């Protein structure tokens, strides 16, 4: 099995994770979708220097990992490709923002370093929250919930198909990488000179397959309307979960928990 086959297997595994059972899995998609959005909004709303205010927001994902039984390890393993990209976003801040805003003992910390750390943490928190949503909710259910909030049908269907097509594309990539390496033994990666034709082929091949996939949907009576499986209704426990989450976010957002706990950093 090469790297790409493994990637494909992993996409399938997400469906399996989502099909497990736990108090979090058993909540309605609506409750989870709303609380995830609220969480992300809360995280993003923090000031770029407010690292100490942001840190306690780690509490929510940690709780969800615990209750849902999804290993934190799995999360970081699956996100290993995007995580560095998100982390890289704030990498240049320390060079632009040299203004000292914090002293830890004798070490002076510039605004750039704090805002870089804040940005990184924001990225990680948002990724974790999104991962938890997808790992505890079947993708169809997330789409069904989006439909309930009147997100346009075309958009949701596109999202769903993209999720399915990612698999197709990865599979084509796997076949092509194998074919390439069999004819270029000992070579690491794919030589720059072949990138153009490689990408072109990949696009054509995955388009061919996507077309056939779509034809197979049409032949089975699909016409722009996806029939989602019946969704878990929004019940009392969903209301409790959503209200609890929102309350927690408000608390973490507007009350300086760090200061309450005695102040981790000294301003």
Using CB under 8 A as the binding rule, whether residue 12 contacts another protein is answered as: yes
Distance CA 252, CA 81 (A): 30
Using CB under 8 A as the binding rule, whether residue 7 contacts another protein is answered as: no
> Distances from the Cα of 212 to the Cαs of 176, 233, 248, in angstroms?
19, 35, 47
Using CB under 8 A as the binding rule, whether residue 90 contacts another protein is answered as: no
| CB atoms near residue 148 (< 10 Å) | 15
Q: Which of 68, 118, 120, 171 binds another protein (CB under 8 A)?
A: 171
Count Cα neighbours of 213 within 13 Å in the Cβ-side half-sphere. 14
Using CB under 8 A as the binding rule, whether residue 204 contacts another protein is answered as: no
Q: How far is the CB of 68 from another protein (least distance, A)?
A: 19
Using CB under 8 A as the binding rule, whether residue 164 contacts another protein is answered as: yes
Distance CA 254, CA 66 (A): 25
Using CB under 8 A as the binding rule, whether residue 15 contacts another protein is answered as: yes
Q: Which of 2, 3, 6, 9 binds another protein (CB under 8 A)?
A: 9
Helix pair angle (192-219, 153-183), 10° resolution: 130
Token code pair at residue 32 = 């989870």
Distance CA 80, CA 77 (A): 5
> Distances from the Cα of 93 to the Cαs of 37, 89, 159, in angstroms?
27, 9, 33
Number of residues that bind another protein (CB under 8 A): 29
| CB atoms near residue 222 (< 10 Å) | 14
Using CB under 8 A as the binding rule, whether residue 216 contacts another protein is answered as: yes
> What 3-state DSSP class applies to 21?
coil
C-beta closer to another protein: residue 104 or 219: 219
Using CB under 8 A as the binding rule, whether residue 147 contacts another protein is answered as: no
Stretch that binds another protein, among 39-47, 97-105, 141-149, 166-174 (CB under 8 A): 166-174
Binding mask 217-256 for another protein (x = CB under 8 A): xxxxxxx-x-x-xx--------------------------
- Residue ranges binding another protein (CB under 8 A): 8-9, 11-12, 15-16, 19, 138, 140, 164, 167-168, 171, 209, 212-213, 215-223, 225, 227, 229-230
């Amino acid at each position: 099995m090469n790297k790409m086959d493994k990637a494909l297997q992993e996409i399938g595994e997400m469906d399996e994770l989502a099909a497990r059972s736990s108090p979090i899995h058993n909540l309605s998609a609506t409750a989870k979708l709303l609380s995830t959005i609220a969480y992300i909004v809360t995280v993003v709303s923090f000031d770029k220097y407010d690292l100490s205010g942001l840190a306690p927001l780690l509490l929510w994902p940690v709780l969800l990992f615990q209750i849902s039984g999804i290993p934190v390890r799995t999360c970081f393993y699956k996100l290993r490709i995007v995580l560095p990209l998100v982390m890289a976003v704030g990498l240049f801040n320390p060079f632009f923002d040299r203004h000292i805003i914090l002293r830890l003992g004798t070490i002076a910390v510039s605004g750039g370093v704090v805002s870089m750390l804040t940005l990184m943490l924001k990225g990680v928190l948002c990724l974790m929250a999104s991962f938890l949503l997808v790992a505890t909710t079947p993708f169809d259910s997330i789409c069904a919930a989006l439909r309930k909030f009147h997100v346009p049908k075309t958009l949701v269907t596109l999202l769903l198909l993209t999720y399915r097509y990612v698999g197709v594309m990865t599979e084509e990539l796997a076949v092509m990488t194998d074919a390439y390496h069999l004819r270029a033994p000992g070579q690491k990666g794919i030589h720059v000179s072949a990138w153009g034709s490689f990408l072109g082929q990949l696009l054509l091949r995955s388009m061919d397959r996507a077309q056939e996939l779509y034809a197979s949907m049409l032949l089975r009576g699909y016409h722009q309307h996806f029939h989602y499986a019946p969704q878990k209704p929004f019940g009392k426990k969903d209301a409790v979960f959503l209200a609890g989450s929102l309350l927690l976010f408000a608390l973490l957002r507007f009350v300086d928990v760090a200061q309450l706990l005695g102040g981790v950093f000294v301003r």
